């Protein structure tokens, strides 16, 4: 068990990635926070980028979980070496007592060794998670067929456990985003203005047809086919979530289905989470909104491309259905598919529609 004494006053967590990566790490973040309730916790992560990927700061609560953020690369002249030197100096000034290494499992042995040396050089004496990460290292290629892995969220909790922290058995359910009253009110205002006028007893379902990676996007005509049938047979009211870039796909779905509202690009990430918490079900690609919906306890019908290890990014909870097909080229980890989205095209609208009906039926029975 780690002590809550002098060696746990200033904690650094190293976790990069974007919206979905931050949400997947929520249980691990909460496990550390609960073990060190009085500590100052800083998250070292990357910032938003020009491609529209959002940083952890956009989704994590501003108070109560993470106290501060350090983003990199830092804007220092002289290139990567100067940026690294700038970051090193900043970490030394902060005088962190310990660092928790919550990086992805595909980090190489060389990268992990470099990272640990960097933190030691920054004066951080307690470096937790490195040995466990080395023991669980994954190749970037998953092979065919891909074995089914534990969720990344569960792996991160095991990293925390390996550090000596007593993590509860139900810690995987610690996904509280601490949504504020203002954020809930913004979502409620959206519902009152754009959903309630056409609701007429229908059931609100969140739809996320997009992703920052084109290789993860199930064809729009298949979304239209599923949503049309859900509107007709399950009396749903589709609400499109995502970023501004998803509005056009949302407009097509609503135009062809005859009903719905678009929240994509209208609500912030955390306001979108509040909205998804009001939905009876979520249907969408492997994306940030999927992780948000799962964190809010909304059952997910999730459509995965086979670009990564099977199971690694499955959504929180037991009430979800994940569609993923094994193909010879799986594990490609590329944003643009060179094989005409074969793995996604093997997922048929009829099976997705059936899964949606089954999930909605369970909702009626609760």
Q: How confident is the model at residue 73 (pLDDT cuts 50, 70, 90)?
A: low
Q: What do you get for the CA distance between the two ends of the chain, in Å? A: 40
**Residue 128, CB half-sphere, CA atoms under 13 Å: how many?**
25
In terms of domains, do 189 and 165 share one?
Answer: no
In terms of domains, do 146 and 232 share one?
Answer: no
In terms of domains, do 24 and 135 share one?
Answer: yes
pLDDT digits (tens, 9 = 90+) for 259-317: 999 999 999 999 999 999 999 999 999 999 999 999 999 999 999 999 999 999 999 99
> Could you tell me if residue 115 is inside a domain?
yes
In terms of domains, do 164 and 186 share one?
Answer: no
- Alpha-carbon gap, residue 263 to 270, rounded angstroms: 12
Mean pLDDT to the nearest integer, 48-67: 87
Q: Indicate if the pLDDT at residue 5 is higher than 90.
A: no
Helix then strand then coil, % of the chain, to nearest 5? 45, 15, 45
Is residue 260 left, alpha or beta, with left meaning phi > 0 and alpha meaning psi from -120 to 50? left
> Could you tell me if residue 1 is inside a domain?
no
pLDDT digits (tens, 9 = 90+) for 172-199: 999 999 999 999 999 999 999 999 999 9
In terms of domains, do 201 and 309 share one?
Answer: yes
In terms of domains, do 24 and 116 share one?
Answer: yes
Structure confidence at residue 74 (pLDDT): 52
> Could you tell me if residue 45 is inside a domain?
yes
Give the domain extent around 69: 6-173
Q: How confident is the model at residue 52 (pLDDT cuts 50, 70, 90)?
A: confident
- Please indicate whether residue 141 or residue 331 has the higher confidence score (pLDDT): 331
- Alpha-carbon gap, residue 60 to 45, rounded angstroms: 12
In terms of domains, do 300 and 360 share one?
Answer: yes
Mean pLDDT to the nearest integer, 28-48: 94
**φ and ψ of 243, to 5 deg:** -100, 180
Q: Work out the mean pLDDT of the chain and round it to a whole number.
A: 93
Mean pLDDT to the nearest integer, 329-336: 93
Q: Indicate if the pLDDT at residue 50 is higher than 70.
A: no
Q: Indicate if the pLDDT at residue 102 is higher than 70.
A: yes
In terms of domains, do 198 and 331 share one?
Answer: yes
Tally of domains in the chain: 2
pTM of the model: 0.94
- Alpha-carbon gap, residue 207 to 223, rounded angstroms: 9
Single out the residue in 122, 141, 173 at which a domain terminates: 173
**Cis omega before residue 145 (within 30°)?**
yes
Which of 63-77, 85-99, 243-257, 316-330 is predicted least confidently? 63-77
Structure confidence at residue 75 (pLDDT): 53
Structure confidence at residue 4 (pLDDT): 45
- Alpha-carbon gap, residue 204 to 281, rounded angstroms: 8
Structure confidence at residue 6 (pLDDT): 40
Single out the residue in 173, 208, 237 at which a domain terminates: 173
CATH number, domain of 323, equals 3.40.50.2000
In terms of domains, do 316 and 350 share one?
Answer: yes
User: 121: which DSSP letter?
Assistant: H
In terms of domains, do 193 and 55 share one?
Answer: no
Mean pLDDT to the nearest integer, 98-117: 95
Integer Rg of the chain from CA: 21
């Amino acid at each position: 068990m780690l002590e809550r004494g002098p060696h746990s006053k200033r904690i650094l967590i190293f976790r990069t990635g974007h919206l979905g990566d931050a949400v997947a790490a929520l249980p691990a973040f909460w496990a550390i926070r609960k073990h060190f309730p009085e500590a100052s916790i800083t998250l070292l992560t990357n910032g938003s980028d020009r491609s529209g990927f959002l940083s952890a700061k956009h989704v994590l609560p501003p108070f109560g979980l993470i106290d501060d953020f350090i983003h990199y690369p830092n804007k220092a002249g002289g290139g990567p070496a100067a940026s690294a030197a700038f970051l090193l100096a900043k970490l030394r000034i902060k005088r962190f007592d310990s660092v928790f290494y919550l990086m992805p499992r595909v980090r190489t042995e060389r990268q992990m060794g470099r990272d640990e040396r960097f933190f030691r050089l920054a004066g951080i004496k307690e470096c937790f998670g490195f040995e466990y990460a080395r023991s669980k290292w994954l190749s970037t290629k998953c092979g065919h067929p891909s074995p089914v892995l534990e969720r990344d969220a569960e792996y991160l909790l095991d990293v925390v456990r390996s550090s000596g922290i007593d993590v509860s058995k139900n810690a995987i359910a610690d996904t509280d985003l601490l949504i504020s009253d203002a954020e809930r009110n913004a979502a409620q205002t959206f519902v009152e203005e754009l959903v309630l006028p056409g609701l007429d007893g229908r059931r609100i379902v969140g739809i996320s047809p997009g992703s920052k990676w084109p290789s993860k996007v199930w064809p729009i005509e298949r979304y239209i086919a599923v949503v049309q049938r859900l509107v007709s047979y399950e009396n749903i009211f589709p609400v499109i979530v995502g970023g501004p870039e998803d509005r056009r796909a949302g407009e097509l779905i609503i135009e062809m289905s005859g009903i719905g509202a678009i929240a994509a690009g209208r609500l912030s990430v955390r306001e979108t989470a509040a909205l998804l918490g009001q939905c009876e079900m979520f249907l969408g690609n492997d994306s940030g909104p999927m992780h948000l919906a799962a964190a809010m306890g909304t059952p997910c019908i999730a459509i995965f491309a086979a670009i990564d290890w099977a199971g690694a990014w499955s959504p929180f909870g037991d009430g979800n259905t994940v569609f993923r097909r094994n193909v010879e080229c799986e594990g490609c980890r590329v944003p643009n598919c060179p094989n005409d989205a074969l793995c996604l095209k093997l997922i048929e609208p009829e099976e997705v529609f059936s899964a949606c009906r089954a999930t909605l039926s369970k909702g009626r029975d609760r």
